[in-house]
Amino acid sequence: MSKTKSNILLIYTGGTIGMVKEFKTGVLKAFDFKTLLEKIPELQLLDCNIDTISFKNPIDSSNMNLQYWVQMVEIIEVNYNDFDGFVILHGSDTMSYTASALSFMLENLAKPVVFTGSQLPIGDLRTDAKENLITAVQVASMQIKGKPAVKEVCLYFEYKLYRANRTTKINAENFQAFASLNYPDLAESGVYLKINNEHLLKPNTRKKLVINKKLDDNIALIKLFPGINKAVFESVFNIPNLKALIIETYGSGNCTTEKWFIDMLQEKISDGIYIINITQCSGGSVVMGNYETSSKLKKIGVISGKDITTEAAIAKLMYLLGLNISGKVFKTMYEASLRGEIT
């Protein structure tokens, strides 16, 4: 029985991976992805067909915003039935934010969407771009009994495949730029590409893909520090149309018990503003009520982000606000795992 080849769509949004250096001038220029197979002939050894599409004006990932996220999901939406998997090339600085956002925007996803990028341009002598790109395409094209092996939004970087909404960029210089501290790797690339099937998301593939494009960015993020004062919090709550605030607290969700702080949060929750508690630690979880310094937050109705990353906390908040659901449902949904983003 002959196996038909997987069809993969490669989407270039910008970032270091799509740059080539002109040898004479040393200037970095955007790479023409139509010549991809000429530049990286190794891709032709993979058992798949590759089509490419680029943003009209590729962007630095520092300029990433909600409109570009919508642009990406629209490309996937239009091409969903014609391709078996998608690889998105993206700058590494905000890759975890974008990849987390797409995990919420693509509901009932039954195909792989693999994000990758690089620390060095594709034409560089010591580049990490080729390996990242080749393996990301290989992951996207893997099939078991004619169905995609991976059915979620993930991120591949330096020999590791991660669940996208569990990742954080941890290093600006190392090739191993990302980590997933609260969830195991989905796959590891060595002599063999070893997929850890038990850690993969297992969606209901009978459900139809739902694209969520309505995101609400009327949110704020604040990191607690010793000595933070009332004026700082008041200035955040004075933001027009603010609907939710994420607070990065200490350890397992602990914060100051100063009366002004608790009273202000309680007042804002009564006004209908959602307050989300996430930890500023890279690993571990918020467990409100574990210590006296977090039990008051639980009592006044602060929402627990559990072991969610900051990147996923922001994306999930924008997504849930966009659904325009009631407060009680909102809290239940935020504290539940929707796409494997919390344990």
Burial zone of 222 (CB within 10 Å; 0-12 exposed, 13-18 middle, 19+ buried): middle
Residues 6+ apart with CB under 8 A from 242: 218, 219, 220, 236, 273
* Residue in the structure block whose two tokens are 């991660």: 162
Give the Cα separation of 236 and 63 in Å (integer). Answer: 23
Q: In whole angstroms, what is the distance from residue 55 CA to residue 97 CA?
A: 18
Sign of CA dihedral 264, 268, 269, 275: negative
For 18, which DSSP code? G
Catalytic residue among 16, 94, 127, 249: 16
What are the E-state strand segments in 92-167? 106-107, 113-116, 143-144, 147-148, 153-157, 160-163
Q: Tell me the CA end-to-end span of the chain in Å, nearest whole number.
A: 41
Q: Is 16 annotated as catalytic?
A: yes
Separation CA 89–CA 306 (nearest Å) = 30
Q: Which amino acid is at 312?
A: A
Annotated catalytic sites, by residue? 16
